Amino acid sequence: MHKKLFIPGPTEVRKDILDAQAEPMIGHRMKAFTELYTGIIGKLKELLQTQNFVTVPTASGTALMEAAIRNCVSKDVLCCTYGAFSERWLKIAKACDRTANAIALDWGKVVKPEMIEEKLKAKKYEAVTVVQNETSTGTRAPIEEIAEVMKKYPETLLLVDTVSSLMGDKIEIDKLGIDVCLASSQKCFALPPGLAVGIISEKALKKAEIVSGKGHYLNFLDIKDYFEKKGQTPTTPAISLMWAMSKQLDKMKAEGMENRYKRHTEMATYVQDWAKKNFALFTEPGYESVTVTCINNTRKISVADLNTELGKRGYAISNGYGKLKEQTFRIAHMGDLTLDEIRELIDNIDEILKL
Ligand SMILES: Cc1ncc(COP(=O)(O)O)c(C=O)c1O
């Protein structure tokens, strides 16, 4: 039996979108691919209301985290860490031989604009990394306030991971001045894994011109050059996934992005109200994610047993991430899920736990 996914990625993919992958294969140097790919880029720009350069590499989101460092940082980067994925960016920067300093906070807390400002006053950084939606802790960073502070330091690029929020939480990329914004297909896009989405500012592209050690596969300048000359990708893309993405973007347009964001907020409110009544939230109050809720296991239930019981009924939720296993559990409300589906899941949890 298929278990409906209430986990923070991969998310549930609707049947018509899965079926869209079965289009006959085309060559990635054919006109048909140029039409498919330039169509996708155009739709993304429209839905995200961005004038920045947009690219869809065949990779998972982590590849673009690494690419953001490799293309935009020669030496000094400031990484804000408060969970598994924000810590991953610090690890990546170090693995790329960059000099990375951290604003290291406990998991569940979140970086504040004044913390970043204090660091930027003390030292010149080429870039700051922020995970806007920390999936391991269900935390939303105050990206709007952070962006305001960053405007005072125009030489420092703002690199933002929106892997588990883009298309579910409204992020005004151009208005905020985000230099690299990145996401993965298997989260709020409600697509299978395998594609990443990168939205890259003029400023980031200019910086890439003077940074060495950009690597080959995700060299932003080569990718842009290839797109501008041919409307294609430099290497062979996951064409089947792109058919699915193209269709899914049409469906998002039909839903309307404001409606999509509202649906996510409604689902988040429902789950968070339930969690506060029956458990507690793990996340610092006021910084709750709108796409995933991380619940403090105050009743000391066995999360593994709960998930086994839910599995028998056709649902899957997530245990806590890494060191938070059993201490917390996570319910994702992202992608194409509806409030009715969330209600159904919560009713089943109530029945199993006799709440
Ligand atoms: C916030 C965040 N960043 C990065 C990643 C890594 O993305 P991917 O698995 O697509 O490489 C994830 C995956 O869950 C995530 O939630």
For 100-137, write each residue's pLDDT tens digit.
Answer: 999 999 999 999 999 999 999 999 999 999 999 999 99
Same-domain check for residues 130 and 242: yes
Q: Is the CB of 135 under 6 A from ligand 1?
A: yes
- pLDDT tier, 217 (very low <50, low <70, confident <90, very high otherwise): very high
Same-domain check for residues 46 and 100: yes
Q: Is the CB of 329 under 6 A from ligand 1?
A: no
Same-domain check for residues 205 and 335: no
Q: Is the CB of 132 under 6 A from ligand 1?
A: no
Question: CB neighbours (10 Å) of residue 19?
Answer: 12
Same-domain check for residues 290 and 234: no
Domain assignment of residue 94, given as a range: 15-253
Mutating to test ligand 1, I would choose from 5, 11, 62 the residue with most ligand atoms within 8 A of its C-beta, which is: 62
Q: Helix, strand, or coil here: 183?
A: strand
Binding residues for substrate: 330
Residue 68's nearest CA partner among 196, 190, 191 is 196
Same-domain check for residues 228 and 86: yes
Same-domain check for residues 183 and 163: yes
Binding residues: 330
Paired tokens of 165: 């929020």
Paired tokens of 224: 């842009």
Of 212, 233, 253, which one is at a domain's C-terminal end? 253
Q: Which residues have CB under 8 Å from 166's CB, separation 6+? A: 48, 181, 183, 187, 188, 189, 197
Same-domain check for residues 191 and 44: yes
Q: Is the CB of 9 under 6 A from ligand 1?
A: yes
Q: How do residues 269-328 score in pLDDT, each as one tens digit?
A: 999 999 999 999 999 999 999 999 999 999 999 999 999 999 999 999 999 999 999 999
Same-domain check for residues 180 and 35: yes
> Which residues are 103's β-sheet partners?
80
Could you tell me the distance, in angstroms and rounded to a whole number, from the CA of residue 135 to the centre of ligand 1? Answer: 8
Specify the residue for token string 């939205």: 199
Of 235, 253, 271, which one is at a domain's C-terminal end? 253
Same-domain check for residues 78 and 177: yes
* Ligand 1 atom with the shortest distance to the CA of 135: 16
Could you tell me the distance, in angstroms and rounded to a whole number, from the CA of residue 92 to the centre of ligand 1? Answer: 13
Could you tell me the distance, in angstroms and rounded to a whole number, from the CA of residue 61 to the centre of ligand 1? Answer: 6
The domain that contains 239 carries what CATH number? 3.40.640.10
Same-domain check for residues 248 and 261: no
Claim: this prediction has a pTM higher than 0.95? yes
Could you tell me the distance, in angstroms and rounded to a whole number, from the CA of residue 229 to the centre of ligand 1? Answer: 31
Strands (E), 56-201: 76-81, 99-104, 127-131, 133-134, 139-140, 157-161, 180-184, 196-200
